[in-house]
Structure 1
Amino acid sequence: MSYARTSQDDRQRDGHGVRYQLRINERTAREHGCVVVASYSDNGRSASRQGVVRPGFERMIVDLVRGRTDSGRLIAGVVCVADDRLYRRVEDMARFLAALTGAPGRIHLDQEGVRDPYSREGVMQAVRSLDAAVTETRVRSRRLTNWHWARAVEGVPHSGPRPFGWLEDRIGLHPEEAELVARAVGERISGKAVRAIARDWCELGITGTRGGRPNGQTVTQIMTAPRVCGYRANRGELLLDPATGMPVLGQWEPIVTPEDWRAVCSTFSPGSLFMHRGSGAPRRTASPRPVPRHLGTGFLRCGAEGPDGEVCRGSLCAQKGRSKQSPYVYSCRDCRRCSISGPLADTALERLLFDEGRSGRLPKDTRQRWQTDMALEEKRKIVASALAHCLVRPGAKTDHTWDFSRVEPVWR
């Protein structure tokens, strides 16, 4: 099995990074007398950020656990360019090693040679690689943070997409857009609703710098961004000159005066301001993360096959259903070819956990507490301890019976 991953592909967007890695993997396999029977890749996917789903990595883990590819080819090991392509988190390293060593005799191959994942030295080498990757991530993050801060203190414009109201150089004003922003600030200070301003922009055929239609939130962000009056911000904080205590001025032309900017900001609640919700700024409204309301959220993967025969494996998300029997359903937002009744999927998870053949995995009193007073959060922790995820096969449109076998478990 060959695996490749890149963290970013923002410029060319053609997947050349993973393509090159897969070619290198094929060469490495040939040099050691091996043959690549399946290739997996994740283009533009971070391995260090929590919550990022890597479909290629997940498919590889599933195939390693069952010991064969979708085409039935037996798996004898994994080849990759370097360990940090596979994992940059302890959880992913543990999952990979457990899946790889699930059968005897498998190898881990990279450009340095063949490694024995069963030996103490092989495991220690994986741990050293993980430690080096984590250290590199921290150093790179700190270096990037410092670089952005130094640019901000000097008043250099942001390096992201062109801000609405300015030219491509991010210095000079865009004649039409700047006039719209200045007029919107004046109208908002006079009491006009921000949604009405957004509707006016839509009627004029105005689009954002990324092609989207203006709405109330985007217009609010544009008007309340410190750059409209020439001030420089960084990571959600207005930068102040250490010597004078005054706001740092950017190198670009302002659209309105600082007094007008403060006046327009005062017309909004704190949670709506750019400084609280702007690009790259931390949320400071203290709003809690949404809590999962259903048992299967985050544990279900799409089992629909595409035209090329590849299984989607996208996450199934809960949404409102249309019947009393299924008040909520889990649906795939990636391919939109698979959905399952929420109560059916949740009941299937319970059946899998308390199946007679696997009941020894859980304490005896767990089932009784599960059915009486156990909170959803504790139930989800139990599911996470036993299951990596479940693959949900599409159902037949004409069959309205509940088929629990559609939910196929991948045990930890």
Structure 2
Amino acid sequence: MSYARTSEDFRQRDGHGVRHQLRINERTAHEHGCRVVAVYTDNGCSASKEGASRPGFDRLVEDLARGRTADGQAVEGVVCVADDRLYRRAEDLTRFFAALTSRQGRIYVDPQGVRDPYSQEGLLQAVRSLETAVTETRVRSRRLMNWHWARAVEGVPHSGPGPFGWQEDRITLHAVEATLVEKAIVDRVGGKAVRAIAQEWCGLGVTGTRGGRPNPATVTQIITAPRVCGYRANRGELLLVPETGEPVLGQWESIVTPDQWQAVCATFSPGSLYMHRGSGAPRLHGKRAAPRYLASGILRCGARRHDGTVCHGPLCGQKVKSRRSPYFYTCRDCGRCSISGPLTDEALERLLFPEAPAHALLPDATRLRWMSGEIDLAEKREIIKSVLVCCVVRPGGKGNRPWDPSRVQPVWRCDRVEPTGARG
């Protein structure tokens, strides 16, 4: 099994990084008398961020634990260009080694040679690689944070996508866009709804810097960003000059005055959308909405793509107008797999709490708390993740067919013993 991963692919967007790694893996496998029977890739996927999606790595671990690939090929080991391509977090190291050593006689191969994953030295080498990767990640993150901060206190514009309202240099105002932003701020302070402003922009044929159509969320971000009045923010905080306590001014031309910016921010309730609202409130980044459905992201798509591979994309809950179900879980990647939300949640509960006590996966106390309603959604999701890697959902057939719980196929964690009869 050959695995390749790159953290970024935003320049060429052609997957050249993973292709080069796979070529090296082929050469390494040939040099050590091995044959690659399956390829797994994660292009542009971080391995150091908590909660980052790595479908290729997840499939690799699942196939290792199962002992065969999706097409029935037996697996005897893994080849990779370096440890940090596979894991940069202790959780991933644990998952990988548990799956790799779940059967005897397997090997791990890299350009340095063949390793015995069952020996103490093999495990210690993996732990040392993890410590090196973690240290490297922290040092690089700190260096990058300091670089951004130093640029920010000098008033240098953000290095990301060009902001709406300015030319490509991020300093000179864009005559048309800046006028729209100023008018939107005035209108919003005067009581106009953001949705109405977004519709007005759409009617004028306005598009964002990435080509998207304006919506209330993007309009809100634009008109409440500190940069509209010339203020510089960094990592969700409004930067202040240490000597005076005054906001750091950016090097770009401003659209409105600070008083106007504070007034438009005050028209929003605190914590709404992606920013703290209110007068002088700093912009926040990285705020992710909590899942509203039990199995969102835990379910994986089992539909086959045109090339024969399994999609394995996340199924996320969404509210729908349907007589059959108030919400469905639908694949966001291929859109070819959808399943009833409430019935799937019930199937998950039956997997966790089978009728036969001998097949119980969790303590009785957990069952009682779950059934009594004492456990909130977030804790329920953590309980599911403690025993399941994911659940693969097979696509349903056409027509109004009866509910088939066998469509939900659990993938148990390696340190758990799958209970007999739990699938039914």
SS in 2 for 1:183: helix
Distance (whole Å) between structure 1 residues aligned to residue 77 and residue 113 of structure 2: 13
Equivalent pairs counted in the alignment come to 408
Give how far 1:357 is off: 10
Distance (whole Å) between structure 2 residues aligned to residue 329 and residue 87 of structure 1: 33
Aligned residues: percent identity?
67
What is the match of residue 410 of structure 2? Answer: 409
Cα 1:275–1:251 change in 2 (3 A) is: farther
Distance (whole Å) between structure 2 residues aligned to residue 303 and residue 311 of structure 1: 6
TM-score when normalising by structure 2: 0.87
- Contact between 1:188 and 1:194, CA under 8 Å: does it hold in 2? yes
Distance (whole Å) between structure 2 residues aligned to residue 272 and residue 382 of structure 1: 29
What is the match of residue 401 of structure 2? Answer: 400
Deviations 1:106-132 (A, max 9, x none): 011111111111011111111111111
What is the match of residue 310 of structure 1? Answer: 309
Distance (whole Å) between structure 1 residues aligned to residue 9 and residue 292 of structure 2: 31
- Contact between 2:236 and 2:285, CA under 8 Å: does it hold in 1? yes
- The answer to which of 259-268 and 367-376 deviates more is 367-376
Give how far 1:399 is off: 6.0
What is the match of residue 390 of structure 2? Answer: 389
Distance (whole Å) between structure 2 residues aligned to residue 141 and residue 92 of structure 1: 20
What is the match of residue 161 of structure 1? Answer: 161
Q: Does 1:349 align with 2:348?
A: yes
Distance (whole Å) between structure 2 residues aligned to residue 408 and residue 39 of structure 1: 23
Cα 1:218–1:341 change in 2 (3 A) is: closer
What is the match of residue 421 of structure 2? Answer: none
TM-score when normalising by structure 1: 0.89
- The answer to which of 224-233 and 87-96 deviates more is 224-233
Cα 1:329–1:120 change in 2 (3 A) is: same
Distance (whole Å) between structure 2 residues aligned to residue 75 and residue 23 of structure 1: 19
- The answer to which of 343-352 and 250-259 deviates more is 343-352
Distance (whole Å) between structure 2 residues aligned to residue 91 and residue 152 of structure 1: 35
SS in 1 for 2:231: coil
- Contact between 2:319 and 2:326, CA under 8 Å: does it hold in 1? yes
Distance (whole Å) between structure 1 residues aligned to residue 180 and residue 349 of structure 2: 57
Distance (whole Å) between structure 1 residues aligned to residue 316 and residue 274 of structure 2: 29
- Contact between 2:155 and 2:248, CA under 8 Å: does it hold in 1? yes
Cα 1:156–1:401 change in 2 (3 A) is: same
Give how far 1:179 is off: 2.2
Deviations 1:297-346 (A, max 9, x none): 44321111111111111122223466666443322222121122334333
Distance (whole Å) between structure 1 residues aligned to residue 24 and residue 233 of structure 2: 43
Give how far 1:75 is off: 0.8
SS in 2 for 1:271: coil
Q: Does 1:375 align with 2:378?
A: no
Give how far 1:280 is off: 7.9
Cα 1:343–1:30 change in 2 (3 A) is: same
Give how far 1:64 is off: 0.8
What is the match of residue 117 of structure 1? Answer: 117
Alignment gaps of 5+ in structure 2: 414-424
What is the match of residue 185 of structure 1? Answer: 185
Cα 1:401–1:124 change in 2 (3 A) is: same
1:279-298 aligned within 5 A: 281-282=284-285, 290=290, 292-294=292-294, 296-298=295-297
SS in 1 for 2:276: helix
Deviations 1:161-200 (A, max 9, x none): 1111111111111122122223333333444443333333
Letter in 2 for 1:281: L
Letter in 1 for 2:52: V
What is the match of residue 16 of structure 1? Answer: 16
- Contact between 1:301 and 1:314, CA under 8 Å: does it hold in 2? yes
Distance (whole Å) between structure 2 residues aligned to residue 289 and residue 316 of structure 1: 16
| Superposed CA RMSD | 2.8
Letter in 2 for 1:315: P
- Contact between 1:276 and 1:283, CA under 8 Å: does it hold in 2? no
Q: Does 1:234 align with 2:234?
A: yes
- Contact between 1:220 and 1:272, CA under 8 Å: does it hold in 2? no
Letter in 2 for 1:223: I
Cα 1:379–1:218 change in 2 (3 A) is: closer
What is the match of residue 249 of structure 1? Answer: 249
Q: Does 1:206 align with 2:209?
A: no
SS in 2 for 1:133: helix
Cα 1:185–1:372 change in 2 (3 A) is: closer
1:3-42 aligned within 5 A: 3-42=3-42
Letter in 2 for 1:311: V
Letter in 2 for 1:112: Q
- The answer to which of 271-280 and 359-368 deviates more is 271-280
- Contact between 1:61 and 1:96, CA under 8 Å: does it hold in 2? yes
Distance (whole Å) between structure 2 residues aligned to residue 367 and residue 315 of structure 1: 27
Distance (whole Å) between structure 1 residues aligned to residue 239 and residue 20 of structure 2: 42
SS in 2 for 1:309: coil
- Contact between 2:274 and 2:285, CA under 8 Å: does it hold in 1? no
Distance (whole Å) between structure 2 residues aligned to residue 362 and residue 154 of structure 1: 55
What is the match of residue 65 of structure 1? Answer: 65
Distance (whole Å) between structure 1 residues aligned to residue 190 and residue 243 of structure 2: 36
Cα 1:99–1:338 change in 2 (3 A) is: same
Give how far 1:371 is off: 5.0
Q: Does 1:44 align with 2:44?
A: yes
- Contact between 1:276 and 1:282, CA under 8 Å: does it hold in 2? no
Distance (whole Å) between structure 2 residues aligned to residue 254 and residue 33 of structure 1: 64
Distance (whole Å) between structure 1 residues aligned to residue 274 and residue 73 of structure 2: 53
Cα 1:14–1:280 change in 2 (3 A) is: farther
